[in-house]
Each structure stands twice: as structure tokens, then as C-alpha cells.
Structure 1
Amino acid sequence: MARIFDWAVRDSTRLATVASLRQAKGRHAAFAQVTCDSAVEAAAAEAAGIELAICRARNVAEVRRGAPRMFLTAALGFAEAVTDDEILRTAFKALTDGADAVITARRLSVVSLLAAEDIPVMGHLGFVPRKSTWVGSVRAVGKTVDEAVELHHRFRRLEEAGAFAVEAELVPAPLMAELSRRSGLVTVSLGSGKGAEVVFLFTSDICGETETTPRHARRYGDLARLQREVQAERLRALTAFRQDVTAGHFPAPQETASLPQALLDEITQRLDT
């Protein structure tokens, strides 16, 4: 646990810092990272000992309320921050709301723009879902010599642009280990094996919130089943309510306020006049 001042100059403690992440370079799977977009999710993650989380920039304040000690990275949305001014404004808002870093898959000049302000920037390489048309399908990136070499060059260019870390998604595990070893970036593996300093999974996949699980993920819970049960119970209750309204069973006397008959007679007489 480290004591720091956050970007709003609040006295804070963190389970990890940029410095401690860098010091862990070469220690594979030294940290775990998940996604969080609510205080409830964040509180559970921090209680479970997860050191790092990623959330949408607009949700930073909410997530920070639930997890005051996790290292929190804010994802800068493509549509929410387009121009350089908007990108800087969104980044600084996220940081003063409680984020420790930002992540972007934008051009290298954006990384440099943010890094020039001493903002810790995480890049995103490998399979980038929003840019998947360029690789043609949902697949691992780096399974040919040319693609692996190009990915290595992208790592280098990202580091030269000023990033401190990179999320590497769907990179073959042996290649991930080689790229991490050859890079000064803190590496974050999402579906890219153990050869990175940080291992990352989506909370929705870990907790089984969807019916299907990506090949790179593992389900540790079954919230989808619980959600089905909740929906079934919701439907049962709503149906029973509608039936009682139709049958005249709701509301019953115990669910309404009453008046003595004499008082009601006095009120109706007054209303009539």
C-alpha cells in the first residue's frame, strides 16, 4: 500500500502506482486487473484483492467511491473526446475525479499529447475490437512473422510516444512473453497468456454475466443464472399484481388510509356546497 496525492491533491492510498508497476517489470502476473463501471462492482473487486481496474472515463467518480485504493485507469471514449482539446479536458476530468491513468487506442500523437502533461497513458495493441475490420475477424494478432514484427514495432513506437503501459489483447502467449521482455512498457495481458506484468479479464466474463464466454476468458461465477431467476421472480410478482388489480383484491383496506364516516359526511357536505 502506497500513500500518494491524487490529481485533485487528495491524500490517498493505492494498491499500486505507476512506480510500483514499473518496478515489477519482468515479474509475470504480478498484478490483476478487471473492468468496473459501478461502485458495487469496484467494491467487490477491491475486497477480492484486485489491484487494478479500468472503467469508462465518465464513471470514474462512481467507481472510485466503491474502491478508494485500486489503481484506476479511465478509458477515453472515441466519440466522447475527439479533438485534442476534448481529449485533454476528458482526461483531466477523469484524473481529478479519481483516476490514476488513462487508456487510449488513438493515434500516437494523442499518446504524446497526454504524456507531455505527465499523464500516465496506457495504449492498446494486438486485437483492438473497434479496429477489427483491419484484421478481418476476431482472432489472435501476431501469428505470422510479418505481423509479429510489426506488432513489436508498434510496441516500440508506443513507448517512444510516451506511454508507460500497453494492453495487449489476443496476442499469442509465447509472442507476448517475448514482446514484454523486449519492451520497457508495463504489459497488460488480455487473452495473451501469463508473460506480462498484469493479467486482465472483464468482470462480466469472470462473473458469468453473459450466456457465452470468450475463448480467452474463464467463468468463475454464474450471475447469468441469478439474473434469469431475478427476471422470473420479477415477472411472477408483476403478474400477480396485475391479477389482483383486475380481481379487485388490491388495494385492500390495510393498504389504504381511511376516514370515520362522520368526517367523510362532513367533507362531502362541504364539497357539495
Structure 2
Amino acid sequence: MSVAKKEYKKVTVKSIQEMKQNGEKISMLTAYDYTMAKIVDGAGVDVILVGDSASNVMAGHETTLPITLDQMIYHASSVVRGIDRALVVVDLPFGSYQSDPKEALRSAIRIMKESGGHAVKLEGGKEIKDSIKRILHAGIPVMGHLGLTPQSIYKFGTYTVRAKEDEEAEKLKADAKMLERSGCFAIVLEKIPAHLAKEVAESVSIPVIGIGAGGGVDGQVLVLHDLLGMTHEFNPRFLRRYMHLYDDMTKAIGQYVDDVKSTDFPNEEESY
């Protein structure tokens, strides 16, 4: 059943909370640069995540761990310059918030001041509660992230579905409640059973956005490069590719190479 959409000239933290209350699903995608952000924003996406997944898709690292705070600020500032409507949420990278709430606040302030982003996202539950509270007390909106938390990949040892066992599921539900009580404006749930994600979304008043968490949540997020088919090695069950740009781009670039080699490009009309 479709829900009438309210038109938002500018999406804010309040806007996405209203979307949940009104039963309107929230669309969220990653972006890491000006050009892509401008396209994503123009297409009507509600929330743009400047994800630490830039470590993978932009820099070629195996994990999200190597990306630095300075690099996240660079990507975020590029995105902010490209948007008019979307809410821009920026990941705090690994090592910038886990050990010390004061360090967490300094990292969040740098992102807000130097990039112009609108909110930050942190991975984890009660283990980082103090960092979350310190950032929120400074007036910076915080989005939580539970389930599969890629910054903890070496702890998990795998990217498999999380919270399938009762103990971990109960912890996840408790952490979601804690994030809500602490003042987080939304939560991302990554790669957990759909029934559990639905239960969490129904148990909290703040929006729950899923990635590999089924359709019973308040919104969805994907990595833009995966959605567009620019990546081809990554094929998780939850990913729907809306284009296959890897093949199209390879063909186009190959044609360019052939045209240069054969002197077909540039022709007279393409010359001054």
C-alpha cells in the first residue's frame, strides 16, 4: 500500500522522523563526491550517507578500517557542495570515537565544522554509549548502527548475518532501545534477520533504516556503486542492481581506445 508523500524542500532530522510517523519509507544512498552527490540528490533521495565504505569503493581497501578522519571530511565536504535537499550523514571512521568520549566529540565537531555535514553515524551499542551522549550533548545529531558493524570485522571474523542467535538478538534489541533513549535520531540495521529488524523498528519511535534487514523497517540504504553495478565482485543476497555500469563503462572505454588507435577520434567536427 503506497503512502502519500509530503514534499520536503530540505530534508532534516525532523523530516525523517515525520516520515516514520506518516508511514512513508525513507530512501538512503551513499555518495562520496560532488558529481555523484548532485545526481543522487537530484533524483530525490532523502538521506545521503558519506560512508566509511569509501575505504572500499573509492580507495580499494579490503575493509573500512584504514580510512582516516581527514579523508572522511574530504569526501563529506565534496558531497555537501553537491546537494540542495538531502540530509547528509557522515560516518565517524574507526579509531575516532571508540576509546574516548572526548576524542569522539572532537572528531564529530571536526566533521560538522569542516565538511558542513548535518549528522554523524557511529557503529555499536552500549560499548560506545558515553561517546554518543557526549556528541549529542554538543547538539550534533547522531545516527546509530547495529547488527553487522564493518568496523568490527576482525572481531566477527566474517561478514555473515548477525543476531541469528537469541543472545545476540536480545543484545541488539536492548542496544536499539538504548540508542533511542540516548537521543539518536535514527538507527541503521545491517544484515540481520528480517523478523528481528521488523521487531526492532516497531519497538522504537525513531526511524530504522535497513541494509540486508528485510522490508519491515522504515527505510533502506545501499552503496551507490553497488546499486549502479559499477562493482561486480560483490554479490550479497540483499543487493538489487538497478544498472550494470561495469559492463557498459568497460565497453564505452574500450570503444574510445579503439577510436584513438584507429584515428577515428577526434574527427573534423571534433577539432578546432
Scaled by the length of structure 2, what TM-score is found? 0.75
Q: What secondary structure, in the 3-state scheme, does the structure 2 residue paired with 1:189 have?
A: strand
Q: 1:20: Cα distance to partner?
A: 2.0
Partners of 2:180 and 2:131 lie apart in 1 by 13
Partner of 1:200: 221
Identity of aligned residues (%): 25
Partner of 1:223: 245
- The aligned amino acid for 2:155 is W
Q: 1:109: Cα distance to partner?
A: 1.4
- Structure 2 residue 121 is the aligned partner of structure 1 residue 94: no
CA distance change for structure 1 residues 29 and 215 in 2, over 3 Å: closer, same or farther?
farther
Partners of 1:103 and 1:215 lie apart in 2 by 24
Q: 1:108: Cα distance to partner?
A: 1.7
Q: 1:45: Cα distance to partner?
A: 1.0
CA distance change for structure 1 residues 234 and 109 in 2, over 3 Å: closer, same or farther?
farther
Kindly indicate whether the alpha-carbon contact (under 8 Å) linking 2:100 and 2:131 is maintained by their aligned counterparts in 1. no
Report Cα offsets for 1:142-197 as digits up to 9, x if no partner: 22222211211111222233322111001111111111111233211011011222
Partner of 1:73: 89
Give the 5 Å matches for 1:108-147: 108-147=129-168
Partners of 1:240 and 1:80 lie apart in 2 by 52
Kindly indicate whether the alpha-carbon contact (under 8 Å) linking 1:76 and 1:91 is maintained by their aligned counterparts in 2. yes
- The aligned amino acid for 2:196 is L
Partner of 1:55: 50
Report Cα offsets for 1:56-105 as digits up to 9, x if no partner: 54122211221121111011112466754553333233324331111011
Q: What secondary structure, in the 3-state scheme, does the structure 1 residue paired with 2:112 have?
A: helix
Kindly indicate whether the alpha-carbon contact (under 8 Å) linking 2:102 and 2:134 is maintained by their aligned counterparts in 1. no
- Structure 2 residue 123 is the aligned partner of structure 1 residue 105: yes
Partners of 1:44 and 1:199 lie apart in 2 by 18
Aligned-residue CA RMSD (Å) = 2.6
CA distance change for structure 1 residues 100 and 232 in 2, over 3 Å: closer, same or farther?
same
Partners of 1:26 and 1:177 lie apart in 2 by 15
Partners of 1:199 and 1:93 lie apart in 2 by 28
Q: What secondary structure, in the 3-state scheme, does the structure 2 residue paired with 1:199 have?
A: strand
Report Cα offsets for 1:21-47 as digits up to 9, x if no partner: 222335666110000001111111122
Partner of 2:29: 34
Partner of 1:245: none
Partners of 1:184 and 1:217 lie apart in 2 by 27
Q: 1:234: Cα distance to partner?
A: 6.0
Q: What secondary structure, in the 3-state scheme, does the structure 1 residue paired with 2:80 have?
A: helix
CA distance change for structure 1 residues 117 and 222 in 2, over 3 Å: closer, same or farther?
same
Give the paired residue count. 231
Partner of 2:178: 157
Kindly indicate whether the alpha-carbon contact (under 8 Å) linking 1:164 and 1:186 is maintained by their aligned counterparts in 2. yes
Kindly indicate whether the alpha-carbon contact (under 8 Å) linking 1:26 and 1:197 is maintained by their aligned counterparts in 2. no
Q: What secondary structure, in the 3-state scheme, does the structure 2 residue paired with 1:32 have?
A: strand
Moved more, 127-136 or 198-207: 127-136
Q: Which runs of 5+ in 2 are unaligned?
A: 1-6, 52-71, 264-270
Partners of 1:27 and 1:135 lie apart in 2 by 36
Partners of 1:229 and 1:78 lie apart in 2 by 37
Consecutive aligned runs of 4 or more in structure 1 exceeding 6 Å deviation: 237-241
Moved more, 95-104 or 170-179: 95-104
- The aligned amino acid for 2:25 is A
Q: What secondary structure, in the 3-state scheme, does the structure 2 residue paired with 1:54 have?
A: strand
Partners of 1:92 and 1:44 lie apart in 2 by 27
Kindly indicate whether the alpha-carbon contact (under 8 Å) linking 2:145 and 2:189 is maintained by their aligned counterparts in 1. yes
